[in-house]
Amino acid sequence: MNETMTKIAAGLEKAFAARGFAEPSVEDLRNAAGVSLRTLYKYTPSRDQMVHVALNHRHLRYLDHIFTDLPTDHAAALNAIMDRVGTWMQHEASHGCLFHAAVAAAPDDADLRTLLEQHKSQVADRAVNATGLHGTQVDILLILEGLTQSWPLYRDAAVTSAKRLGALLQNNS
């Protein structure tokens, strides 16, 4: 039961990340999930639900990748976060943030929008705590968003830039 659900969620996440939210048909999603159509619809009774399940899975994996076992020193933690965003982009999200992509594909879906906001605010909270940049939640999220969006263009240079901007914040707050 739960094992099948995890398998489905992981497969859906991978499919949406690779091909966007508009393109893959339910048949494609079924292939990616590696289950039958009946089972897929049993766990995710509509295509919209498949999107939600994929994003939830994504959220947990992202938090785990970026924020697990960070150094306690604030400056070192900031550098580590930026590096990890870089490796995340490289291996998982070469097309940009999956949450923004989902909302962009269905701008009228209010549930999706709240999912995006929850994801971003949790990321910002954790980043603030790890870097000691209290009172500058907006700034740190702005840098993270900027890194995520400009990484496809500039790669490592974007990571370096995000580190520099974050350090400027830490030295001027």
Partner DNA sequence: GACGATGTAGAGTGATCCCTCTACCTACGC
Partner DNA sequence: GCGTAGGTAGAGGGATCACTCTACATCGTC
Binding mask 148-167 for its own copies (x = CB under 8 A): xxx--xx--xx-xxx-xx--
Q: Tell me the C-alpha to C-alpha distance, in Å, between residue 121 and each of 59, 104, 141, 158.
A: 12, 18, 8, 22
Question: Closest approach of Cβ 68 to its own copies, in Å?
Answer: 24
Question: Closest approach of Cβ 3 to DNA, in Å?
Answer: 8
Of residues 47 through 86, those in contact with DNA by CB under 7 A are 47-48
Opening angle at CA 165, ends 159 and 170, nearest 5? 125
Burial class (CB in 10 A: 0-12, 13-18, 19+), 91: exposed
The site partner of 41 among its own copies, DNA, none (C-beta below 5 to 8 Å per kind) is: DNA
Q: Interface with its own copies includes 121 (CB under 8 A)?
A: yes
Query: Rounded to an integer, what distance in angstroms lies between the CA atom of residue 67 and that of residue 63?
Result: 6
Q: Interface with DNA includes 36 (CB under 7 A)?
A: yes
Please report, as ranges, the residues that interact with DNA according to CB under 7 A: 1, 4, 25-27, 34-39, 41-42, 45-48
